[in-house]
Amino acid sequence: MPGARPERVLVIACGMIAREVLAVKEQLGLGHLDLTCLPAEYHFYPDRIAPAMDEAIEQARSEGYRHIFVGYADCGTGGLLDRICEKHGVERMAGPHCFAFYQGLEAYAKVGDLDMMSFYMTDFLCRQFEAFFIKPLGLDRHPELVADYFGNYEKLIYLAQTDDPALDKVAENAARMLGLAYERRSTGYGDLVPGLAQATSSVADGRTGQDEP
């Protein structure tokens, strides 16, 4: 109906991209987008993502959401997340992981092989470097373990969603501490922008998160 308000769309995302999803929501004026997140620490435990997503979608359905979008790429689930998406008739972000969709899948396809020995960081990982890497790996107590954990990497690549000198400094210092060459790529939000735009615009024709054929 012309002038009707769009139904709510729930994005169930990785906690590592929560800030970015909200930024894109504001950028695109997606007032009908709601967000809930699974724990960011599942980045290190990909086996937990699919079952947690299954439960989260079931919960969202019970709360009345008909339109759901999964704010994850495959993220190390080995196709298990796709099975959950198929089970519930929902879609997810395309690609193998957020490092790919931030760069854009076409751009990532061109550099993926060259980056095989690179350690990626994002805005989130810069903000949480101490909490996600230094303390859990014990590097604050045993800096000599750097070689064991990062010895096979050659470069640290900071995929920057924003221009923040403080985050740049964190990434540069991390590369120095880990003994890696440093590269900064300004990616912005990459494919997250068209991904969320498509997920929310398709509500109008009933293609996203619908159980009905």
What are 66-103's pLDDT values in tens digits?
999 999 999 999 999 999 999 999 999 999 999 999 99
Residues 40 and 111 in one domain: no
Mark whether 199 and 125 lie in a shared domain: no
pLDDT bucket at 1, cuts 50 / 70 / 90 = very low
131 inside domain: yes
Residue at 117 is within a domain: yes
Structural domains in the chain (count): 2
Q: What is the pLDDT of residue 6?
A: 65
Q: Which domain holds residue 17?
A: 9-97+190-205
Supply the pLDDT for residue 5.
Answer: 57
Are 168 and 136 in the same domain?
A: yes
**Does residue 148 share a domain with residue 129?**
yes
Answer yes or no: do 88 and 127 share one domain: no
Residue 142 lies in a domain: yes
Same domain, 128 and 180: yes
| This prediction's pTM | 0.89
Would 212 be classed as within a structural domain? no
Kindly state whether residues 91 and 116 are assigned to the same domain. Answer: no
Over range 36-46, report the average pLDDT: 95
13 and 92 in a common domain: yes
pLDDT at 205 over 70: no
What is the average pLDDT value for the chain, to the nearest integer?
Answer: 92
Is residue 23 located within the same domain as residue 85?
yes
Q: Can you tell me the distance from the alpha carbon of 125 to that of 132, in angstroms, rounded to the nearest whole number? A: 7
Regarding whether 85 and 31 lie in a shared domain, the answer is: yes
Q: Are both 113 and 40 inside the same structural domain?
A: no
Residues 145 and 130 in one domain: yes
